[in-house]
Structure 1
Amino acid sequence: MAPDNWVEWLRLIATPGVGSATARRLLAAFGPPAAVLAQRHGALAEAVGPTVASRLQAEPPEWPALLARTQAWLTQPDHHLIALGDAAYPASLLTTPDPPPLLHVVGDPAALSAPRALAVVGSRNPTPQGADNARAFARALAAEGVCIVSGLAAGIDAAAHEGALAAGGRTVAVVGTGVDRVYPARHRALAHQIAAAGCLVSEHPLGTPPLAPHFPRRNRIIAGLTQGTLVVEASLGSGSLITAELATQMGREVFAIPGSIHAPQSRGCHALIRQGAKLVETAEHIHEELRAVWGLAAGTPAPASGATPSPADDPVLAALGHDPTPFDLLQARCGWDTARLQAHLLTLELDGHVQRLPGGLLQRVVRT
């Protein structure tokens, strides 16, 4: 699927210096892309300046290769181009301040217009508990028909997609590269699963590499496709906080999961909560907050996603608590000799109740 004038749309966004804001300015001034490209230099220069005007009139060196690549890409099943104003363009993005002019989609474009959608974002280096939380929340909500939207990044993003897939639900990955590239490369199999259960989407032309400025930019699409954003774990300054800020500016709900006061990955979530984000401990809390937005009746049951606690009678787990803890402190708390404690910790690790963290720290993992 592609609009009849997809070549003109692609030529417009492939012009160096023409981002989404500049493209919309040109469209507002002159009409559809073909009309923009037909303008004389003086008229274009008045709208966007002489440099961009010259670039619009001079075919980029890479244009023939990009055109051929995109033509071949569109012949493959489930490959789509959706332009601003098309019937298939997600209505939720139209209400945002900076909607992308052209979307490249692999999978089902209808997933972009899911009536119930939640962004799940967070650290690329989460704690084991954080990754488990992301999977559990996504799995519970996806099982209730909520589309899980994230960014295919390592860590929380991947865990959220995995949770939605485990529930047999829909999930959307908004990528910061061309949609024909997978970053990180180790997520290639995951990307194929996402395309089969929902879609991959990018505003960038095919072949676009993973450039650092693209990832904060794609966060506005993640926030814009959804009615709320859940931050699972995030350090201060994390890109996930950008997504949360954008969601707030768009009038969407923001949720955050609290964590250990000693974990750097929790500080961003705690900052969001201090700023007014809703503290959530279960998927039911999100379900309740968005019930009206999602058009659910008051009696609609919330998804069951509470974490199943580890064995309450284990003295080592009780001494460990829920904060990352060094071995010597744990030993002081429980009073066991080194050999006995190490053997018991090994058993707890094999059972999935304890995870070793960098720096020799131990953390209890709540089973989900």
Structure 2
Amino acid sequence: MTISREEVAEKSLWVSLGSISGIGPQTFCQLLRAFGSPYNIYAASLSQLKEVVSATIANAISNGANQEPAAEFTQWLAGANNHLITLADHEYPRALLEISDPPPYLYAKGNLALLNQPSIAIVGSRNASVQGEKNAEAFAYDLCQHGLCIVSGLALGIDGAAHRGALKAGGATIAVVGTGLDIVYPAKHRELAHQIAEHGLLLSEFALGTPSKPQNFPKRNRIISGLSLGCLVVEANIQSGSQITARMAAEQGREIFAIPGSIHSPMSKGCHQLIKQGAKLVDCIQDITEELKLQPRSNTLISKASASQDREIASSEQLLLDTMGFDPAPLERLVTLTGLTVAEVSSMLMLLELDGKVASLTGGQYQKIM
């Protein structure tokens, strides 16, 4: 889609105003309520501006911070599927208008229709277990099949798995990032980011060229939760970004869901804490669809992540699986519990790992995967 010079000039006024020190989302909205548009804000007199904002900010606006569109911004906006969505645009996500500090504008790349599709956030640990990632991918796939868009943060671990599950289900996913959209962070997710840009949507409130900074991620978390009807936490430590997202979701009046896990796993303690605080315990897709009153599909829902396309499992291998449980266990313990030899257990573990039924963990431990 070709954008006119007039549109570029108008969009650049939003970016210019937002780049002035001291003008955050709330101050920006105060100015918009007072004057109506960035053009009118820049046209206002110094005395008029001082009635709305501090003298320092009023002087910065009146002195005319650079209002000319930057070459980088103009070039980026002309790129395929690149957009700057402002509060004045009908594409602006209605869900974000309900939060206390909606971003005045958002850089977007991809399918803008997803901004106003019913959505759910799926978040969790960057250092997720194999089972945690499989859970995130499976739930994302199934929730997409129920008509929800999956919102997450493109981080390693649970976020990436949630995006991948949504892409397998048809691409209804939004990645809200904490950098400029011309930067992919983490770099390991470069290919995933390209897939999301092609089939889903990348979103950021940060200016082009903004690198990864710790303070940016809590800001982006309010957008992840704000876009969504609810927030599903798959795995999380007690103190984690996922806990921040869940807290923000609760403050925004969104539903909170959490998947429980082993009492011995640090990755489960954050979810258990949320459940104690009132989050809905989730162990199947219906726990979410019923709470959000989503219409079930007429056919039986089968997750790609759990569809059975495996070879027939031998009785001895089934014995091993039944013995393992879902907590990590070292090889020596499995040998003791099954009464099999080290060679027999090692051989079966290798086959079961190839089948995707067992994960090999650090420290010589193994874990059954659902």
Farther off after superposition, 224-233 or 44-53? 44-53
Indicate the SS of the match to 1:105.
Answer: strand
Within 2, Cα distance between the matches of 1:204 and 1:138? 26
Indicate the SS of the match to 2:70.
Answer: helix
Q: Across the two proteins, how many residue pairs are aligned to each other?
A: 359
Q: Are residue 69 (structure 1) and residue 93 (structure 2) matched?
A: no
Farther off after superposition, 196-205 or 352-361? 352-361
Using the TM superposition, give the Cα deviation of residue 36 of structure 1 relative to its aligned residue in structure 2, in angstroms. 2.2
Relative to structure 1, is the Cα distance of residues 301 and 284 closer, same or farther in structure 2, using a 3 angstrom cutoff? farther
Indicate the SS of the match to 2:356.
Answer: coil
Within 2, Cα distance between the matches of 1:265 and 1:59? 50
Q: In 2, are the aligned partners of 1:143 and 1:169 still within 8 Å (CA)?
A: no
Equivalent residue number for residue 274 of structure 2: 272
Equivalent residue number for residue 121 of structure 2: 119
Within 2, Cα distance between the matches of 1:335 and 1:90? 59
Relative to structure 1, is the Cα distance of residues 17 and 303 closer, same or farther in structure 2, using a 3 angstrom cutoff? farther
Using the TM superposition, give the Cα deviation of residue 117 of structure 1 relative to its aligned residue in structure 2, in angstroms. 1.2
Equivalent residue number for residue 179 of structure 1: 181
Q: Are residue 25 (structure 1) and residue 25 (structure 2) matched?
A: no
Deviations 1:298-319 (A, max 9, x none): 8866744495699695122222
Equivalent residue number for residue 324 of structure 2: 320
Equivalent residue number for residue 334 of structure 1: 338
Deviations 1:103-144 (A, max 9, x none): 111012111100x21111111110000000111111112123
Using the TM superposition, give the Cα deviation of residue 90 of structure 1 relative to its aligned residue in structure 2, in angstroms. 0.9
**Structure 2 unmatched runs, 5+:** none
Within 2, Cα distance between the matches of 1:17 and 1:117? 32
Indicate the SS of the match to 1:172.
Answer: strand
Deviations 1:169-208 (A, max 9, x none): 4111111111121111121211121122221111111111
TM-score by length of 2: 0.89
Equivalent residue number for residue 84 of structure 2: 81
Within 1, Cα distance between the matches of 2:50 and 2:339? 77
Relative to structure 1, is the Cα distance of residues 299 and 199 closer, same or farther in structure 2, using a 3 angstrom cutoff? closer
Relative to structure 1, is the Cα distance of residues 301 and 278 closer, same or farther in structure 2, using a 3 angstrom cutoff? farther
Within 2, Cα distance between the matches of 1:14 and 1:352? 49
Relative to structure 1, is the Cα distance of residues 177 and 302 closer, same or farther in structure 2, using a 3 angstrom cutoff? farther
Deviations 1:202-223 (A, max 9, x none): 1111111111111111111111
Relative to structure 1, is the Cα distance of residues 239 and 329 closer, same or farther in structure 2, using a 3 angstrom cutoff? same
Which residue, out of 354, 363, 367, partners 1:363?
A: 367
**Structure 1 unmatched runs, 5+:** none
Indicate the SS of the match to 1:233.
Answer: coil
Deviations 1:254-313 (A, max 9, x none): 11111111111111111111111111112222112111xx5x4x8866744495699695
Indicate the SS of the match to 2:363.
Answer: helix
Farther off after superposition, 104-113 or 36-45? 36-45
Farther off after superposition, 248-257 or 129-138? 248-257
Within 1, Cα distance between the matches of 2:252 and 2:227? 11
Within 1, Cα distance between the matches of 2:191 and 2:91? 27
Q: In 2, are the aligned partners of 1:3 and 1:82 still within 8 Å (CA)?
A: no
Relative to structure 1, is the Cα distance of residues 147 and 34 closer, same or farther in structure 2, using a 3 angstrom cutoff? same
Deviations 1:229-266 (A, max 9, x none): 11111111111111111111111111111111111111
Farther off after superposition, 45-54 or 335-344? 45-54
Which residue identity lines up with residue 216 of structure 2 in the other structure?
H
Using the TM superposition, give the Cα deviation of residue 350 of structure 1 relative to its aligned residue in structure 2, in angstroms. 2.1
Q: Are residue 55 (structure 1) and residue 60 (structure 2) matched?
A: yes
Equivalent residue number for residue 265 of structure 2: 263
TM-score by length of 1: 0.89
Within 2, Cα distance between the matches of 1:308 and 1:182? 32
Q: In 1, are the aligned partners of 2:171 and 2:196 still within 8 Å (CA)?
A: no
Within 2, Cα distance between the matches of 1:82 and 1:352? 42
Using the TM superposition, give the Cα deviation of residue 32 of structure 1 relative to its aligned residue in structure 2, in angstroms. 1.6
Q: In 2, are the aligned partners of 1:180 and 1:206 still within 8 Å (CA)?
A: yes
Indicate the SS of the match to 1:5.
Answer: helix
Within 1, Cα distance between the matches of 2:20 and 2:119? 33
* Alpha-carbon RMSD: 2.4
Relative to structure 1, is the Cα distance of residues 261 and 249 closer, same or farther in structure 2, using a 3 angstrom cutoff? same
Q: Percent identity?
A: 47
Equivalent residue number for residue 14 of structure 2: 9
Q: In 2, are the aligned partners of 1:3 and 1:83 still within 8 Å (CA)?
A: no
Q: In 1, are the aligned partners of 2:125 and 2:235 still within 8 Å (CA)?
A: yes
Within 1, Cα distance between the matches of 2:232 and 2:331? 32
Within 1, Cα distance between the matches of 2:60 and 2:206? 18
Equivalent residue number for residue 211 of structure 1: 213
Q: In 2, are the aligned partners of 1:284 and 1:304 still within 8 Å (CA)?
A: no
Which residue, out of 145, 153, 156, partners 2:158?
A: 156
Which residue, out of 196, 212, 220, partners 1:194?
A: 196
Indicate the SS of the match to 2:174.
Answer: strand
Within 2, Cα distance between the matches of 1:299 and 1:361? 39
Within 1, Cα distance between the matches of 2:132 and 2:14? 41
Within 2, Cα distance between the matches of 1:97 and 1:138? 28
Q: Are residue 344 (structure 1) and residue 348 (structure 2) matched?
A: yes
Farther off after superposition, 1-10 or 233-242? 1-10
Indicate the SS of the match to 1:133.
Answer: helix
